[in-house]
A and B are shown apart, each in its own frame.
Chain A
Amino acid sequence: MAGRRGCAAGPYSPPARMVRAAAGAWPRTDDDLADWGTSMSDTPLQREYAQHLVEEARKGRMTRRQLLVRASVVGLSATAAGRILAACGGEETTSTASPTATVSPKVGGTLKVGMVSPIVALDPTTMYDTGSIAITQQVAEYLIWVNNDLTLRPVLAEKWEPDATAENWTFHLRQGVTFQHGKPFGADDVVATMDILLDPKTVSAALSSFQGILSKGGVEKVDDSTVVFHLDQAFADFPYLVASTNYDCLILPSDYKAGTWQKNPVGTGPFMLTEYKPKQSATLKKNPKYWQQGLPYLDGVQVVFNEETQAQALALQAGSIDMMLITPVHGSQALFSDPNVTVLTTPSTMHRELHMRVDRKPFTDKRVRQALAWTLDRPALVEAVLKGKGEVANDNVFFTLYPLAPQDLPQRDKDIAKAKQLLADAGYPDGIDMDLTVEQFEEIPQYATLLQAMAKEAGINVKTNLVTVSYYYGSGKNQPWLEVPMGITDWTFRGIPAQYYLPAFTSKGVWNSSHFKNAQFDKLAVDFETTLDEASRRTIAKQAAELLLDETPAIIPYTISVNRATRKNVNGVTADPAEYLDLTKAFLA
């Protein structure tokens, strides 16, 4: 399902008109091929890469959407991407018409949004919680925004390209943009922001993605509108690391003083934060000097903080808010049948990782881990736990939403006989006991309950220990989730698989809760991001996914689609796989 989604409409995707015009025109000759994906502004490397993409697509190894994603990563221009896309056949249109496309935008009005409260003082350089991210994103902007289909939309960066080694990435910045306090935006601001983020003293959440890839001082100003990122190692997916999916990378002015954001909120974004009452509300007003002409449509946004999904859902039904930032199925089921409410949904790579300590009995034997994995009826889980708002996953992090996801990996499904056999082979013919630590978070306790019942069929007795979220994650030296023999951890959306497997499954990973150490996997993990050739990357991804599937350090039975409930009069808003909030084009009809 995820593979079929088109990219959202916008200036960054090829106009549907153009795609249709070129539909069905396959490259027949070398001359044609030479023309694919070329454009006046593309570098020789990009042109070469474009041809390479076309070949991949012709061999049927890439879907159209995947191709588009890859094209946007190396910074191919929209024109080029469109032509490549056209080369792959025109049966499907690429831009999904949003349900509101027929309504002409209305200017004015204030949108009332309900969301969870920021848990710490607002600071874009260190934040990590859903509430903080959603608020600051209205005021400040990224270089690149990651679309729902994982294509990249240029925001403050207009274009970018790697050199032949993918170790140096040149970003061309948008000109004519000013910060809300009047300072014009330029290369200095990008360098200054990156210096703050890359300084270990800042303790930015962005650092976990940059570790070993980009270090402080690695960002160079070429001229006022050009910066070059000099990486520590080649990284084929680098643009994702400075895009919205690495959420702390909001660009701040070079005169910004670290830690002062809540007092003096500043950025280039569509809204200005005029009032902020922690745990209560936030008031945002339209930025009259916003660089996108005629946007935003809204006069302002009123944010109401509430921790409870159920309370937010009731407020939405009563009309005291117009939309919820996120609408987890758990606690908001009444909305799905409410005629006054629209629930937007988008597939995501958000998932739950059931990790088993591979260095602790009985999980030292991979057959025990596999046995548990084979007991799960995954479609039934998706149905019961997510009310169908999710997709079956296959115990590895190369999810189908990713362009290089292995397509022919056998899907694990319920097989009790096999599970019993594996247990018997591992020396547990009479069943086995396991202790599972479960955090009280959204649908996880319910998932654990179903898992218990399913595992029981194969003679696996899972004893659960239900704990609060704050106990589960702890802090400092006491982080139970990294120590328990078996636990279920919630992972949010990430733009590239590396953002999962580097922390969770490599030997040096900081969030390696299964204590999985595998030299072969470590090597594949590095190879995947240092290789530029798509075919080789696909092979590496498949090997890595197969290895995870076989070793089963963790069970990942499903990915969760992200829902966003709005009242019927809200337009121009989509659900976001990362639970982000883009209200630039929102309006009230």
Chain B
Amino acid sequence: MEQASPPVGLPAETVVSEQALRRRYVVRKLLRSPTFLVGLAILLFWIFMALFSTYVTRYGPFAIDPYNTLTGPSAQHWFGTDDSGRDVLSRTLAGARPVLEVAPLATLLALLAGTTIGLTAGYYRGIVDEVLMRAVDVLLAIPVVIAGIVIVSGLGASLAVIILVIAILFTPPVSRTVRSAVLAEREREYVQAARLRGESGLFIMAAEILPNCLPPIIVEGSVRLGYAVFTSATLSFLGFGLQPPSPDWGLTISQQSQNIQVAWWTVIFPAVALATLVVGANLVADGLRRTLSE
């Protein structure tokens, strides 16, 4: 990939490193990709809401109003009220925070662990590879949600536990992706050159192979982000995630689903919010994959 020719039209005198050129090219390409831009806009919107929703909305996400429960969308409550008289709009927007506390952190942890395992297995091959990959296979065979439920009910549902659970469950697929990328790279000349120079394995993995494997890792991360959002919502929906009165979308959908016949707005809006965030993350992943794999 590093051989990709710099875009034409650049003055030959300009002294820019090949890497920087490449980066600039990718960014420009991404900014011209509608898929990526739409996804990014959605993500930024929810990140903004996660941080500042309470300054934007008229009602607090926890403010009850026992005498105005399950009222439909109106000028006062654009998205209506839920069964405790809370403003659905406020809660839907505030619901971005718990998800965005869990999903990116869990994804990041999974990337770190998965990359370490993938690099080690792919670089050293042999017995190391066998042991690590069989362990990964075992973990992959366990259904994510069921494993999540078991661990969360054993350790108790705290934010840290949920993040850790999702990270653990997402490590195996990440490590597989990284390993296959490493396998392709390790036979290249620059790796052999580094070996001949007498560099340590650790140095070769971190400084030589890793930078060249970054594109698939970034794509993998953005894909996992979408899944992490979904998994955290699923755990909450099943009652193994966050506790009421958290405005978490999965929890809200589960709590309010009893009212769907008379008050669709209590369920539909958080469901749509959840969907947009997942779709947003996937669009970003899609854009990245297309651009980076060119």
Interfacial chain B residues near A583, Cβ < 8 Å: none
Q: Contacts A380-B66, A466-B239 given: A333-B245 contact, CB under 8 Å?
A: no
**Residue with the highest number of chain A CB atoms closer than 10 Å, among B83, B239, B243:** B83
Q: Contacts A464-B244, A465-B243 given: A450-B258 contact, CB under 8 Å?
A: no
| Interface pair B243/A450, CB less than 8 Å apart | no
Q: Does B255 contact A (CB under 8 A)?
A: yes
Q: Contacting A384 at CB < 8 Å: which of B67, B243, B245, B258?
A: B67
Interfacial chain B residues near A330, Cβ < 8 Å: 258
| Interface pair A450/B239, CB less than 8 Å apart | no
| Interface pair A384/B69, CB less than 8 Å apart | yes
| Interface pair A440/B261, CB less than 8 Å apart | no
- Chain A residue with Cβ nearest B251: A466
A407-428 at interface with B (beta carbon < 8 Å) = none
B57-76 at interface with A (beta carbon < 8 Å) = 62-64, 66-67, 69-70
Distance A383 CA – B84 CA, assembled complex (angstroms)? 10
| Interface pair B66/A448, CB less than 8 Å apart | no
Interfacial chain A residues near B64, Cβ < 8 Å: 384, 449-450, 453-454
Interfacial chain B residues near A456, Cβ < 8 Å: 62
**Residue with the highest number of chain B CB atoms closer than 10 Å, among A310, A384, A468:** A384
Distance A450 CA – B262 CA, assembled complex (angstroms)? 20
Number of interface residues of B (CB under 8 A): 20
Chain A interface residue bracket vs B: 20 to 34
A305-357 at interface with B (beta carbon < 8 Å) = 309-310, 313-314, 330-331, 333-334, 337
| Interface pair A380/B67, CB less than 8 Å apart | yes
Q: Contacts A333-B70, A384-B85 given: A445-B244 contact, CB under 8 Å?
A: yes
A271-324 at interface with B (beta carbon < 8 Å) = 309-310, 313-314
| Interface pair B258/A381, CB less than 8 Å apart | no
Distance A139 CA – B72 CA, assembled complex (angstroms)? 46
Q: Does B180 contact A (CB under 8 A)?
A: no
| Interface pair B261/A333, CB less than 8 Å apart | yes
Interfacial chain B residues near A309, Cβ < 8 Å: 258
- Chain A residue with Cβ nearest B153: A471
Interfacial chain B residues near A452, Cβ < 8 Å: 62, 244-245
Q: Contacting B66 at CB < 8 Å: which of A314, A331, A440, A450?
A: A450
- Chain A residue with Cβ nearest B261: A334
- Flag B255-271 by CB within 8 Å of A: 1 or 0 each: 10011011100000000
- Flag A428-452 by CB within 8 Å of B: 1 or 0 each: 0000000000101000011011101
Q: Does A123 contact B (CB under 8 A)?
A: no
Interfacial chain A residues near B255, Cβ < 8 Å: 445-446
Distance A450 CA – B244 CA, assembled complex (angstroms)? 10
Tell me the minimal C-beta distance from A218 to chain B in angstroms: 46
- Flag A466-478 by CB within 8 Å of B: 1 or 0 each: 1110000000000
Interfacial chain B residues near A440, Cβ < 8 Å: 239
A529-571 at interface with B (beta carbon < 8 Å) = none
| Interface pair A449/B261, CB less than 8 Å apart | no
Interfacial chain A residues near B69, Cβ < 8 Å: 383-384
| Interface pair A464/B84, CB less than 8 Å apart | no
| Interface pair A446/B66, CB less than 8 Å apart | no
| Interface pair A334/B83, CB less than 8 Å apart | no
Tell me the minimal C-beta distance from A331 to chain B in angstroms: 4
Interfacial chain A residues near B245, Cβ < 8 Å: 449, 452-453, 464
| Interface pair B84/A446, CB less than 8 Å apart | yes
| Interface pair A381/B66, CB less than 8 Å apart | yes
Distance A453 CA – B244 CA, assembled complex (angstroms)? 11
| Interface pair A450/B84, CB less than 8 Å apart | yes
- Flag B238-249 by CB within 8 Å of A: 1 or 0 each: 010001110000
Q: Which 6 A-B pairs have the closest CB atoms?
A: A380-B66, A384-B66, A334-B261, A331-B258, A453-B64, A333-B262
- The contact sample of 21 A-B pairs, CB cut-off 8 A, is A313-B261, A330-B258, A333-B261, A334-B261, A334-B262, A377-B66, A380-B66, A380-B67, A381-B66, A383-B69, A384-B64, A445-B255, A449-B64, A450-B64, A450-B66, A450-B84, A452-B62, A452-B244, A453-B84, A453-B245, A465-B243
Residues of A within 8 A of B (CB): 309-310, 313-314, 330-331, 333-334, 337, 377, 380-381, 383-384, 438, 440, 445-446, 448-450, 452-454, 456, 463-468
Apart from A333-B261, A452-B244, 18 more pairs, CB < 8 Å: A309-B258, A310-B258, A310-B261, A331-B259, A334-B262, A377-B66, A384-B84, A445-B244, A445-B255, A446-B84, A449-B245, A450-B66, A452-B62, A453-B62, A453-B64, A453-B245, A464-B244, A468-B239
